[in-house]
């Protein structure tokens, strides 16, 4: 009985550790039904991303084929990262004497030193521009 529970528990644990396969990412940027469109996929795309883009192109052009007109890297925005550092500065004031009963002090006052920096980079994606072929235009063709 204990062996069955151990085997069942191990099987459930193994089933829970399975990973979900990658589904691919593709989005319509511009789409004219049955005419043309632009699809965006991640800049470092995988085969699954490209397959999902092709499904979107087929879906838009159905029942006709499609032709890839142009594809490449496109800047779609900017991302700014800021970092900062603050340090305490110790006071270095010392009494050096007095003048008419008023103490004379020399040195720097305490406080904080602050440094910050920003780095701005372009956010990019891979875009595929395509057009739908006239009915009877044959199979999918790509122009690169």
- Is pTM beyond 0.85? Reply is no
Hey, where are the domains in the chain? 22-85+117-144
Of 90 and 139, the one with more pLDDT: 90
Q: What mean pLDDT is predicted for residues 66-91? A: 90
126 vs 31, 41, 60, 143, CA distance in Å? 16, 5, 19, 16
pLDDT digits (tens, 9 = 90+) for 33-52: 999 999 999 999 999 999 99
Predicted local confidence at residue 127, as pLDDT: 97
What is d(CA 50, CA 64) in angstroms, rounded to the nearest whole number?
A: 19
What is d(CA 12, CA 7) in angstroms, rounded to the nearest whole number?
A: 9
């Amino acid at each position: 009985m204990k062996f069955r529970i151990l085997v069942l528990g191990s099987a459930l644990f193994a089933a829970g550790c399975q990973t979900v396969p990658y589904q691919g990412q593709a989005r319509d940027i511009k789409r004219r039904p049955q005419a043309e469109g632009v699809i965006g996929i991640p800049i470092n795309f995988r085969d699954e991303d490209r397959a999902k883009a092709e499904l979107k192109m087929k879906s838009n052009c159905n029942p006709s084929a499609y032709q890839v007109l142009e594809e490449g890297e496109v800047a779609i925005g900017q991302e700014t990262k800021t970092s900062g550092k603050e340090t305490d500065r110790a006071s270095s004031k010392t009494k050096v004497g007095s003048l008419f009963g008023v103490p004379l002090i020399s040195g720097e006052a305490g406080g904080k030193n602050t440094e910050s920096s920003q780095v701005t980079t372009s956010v990019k994606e891979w875009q595929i521009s395509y057009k739908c072929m006239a009915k009877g235009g044959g199979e999918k063709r790509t122009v690169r």
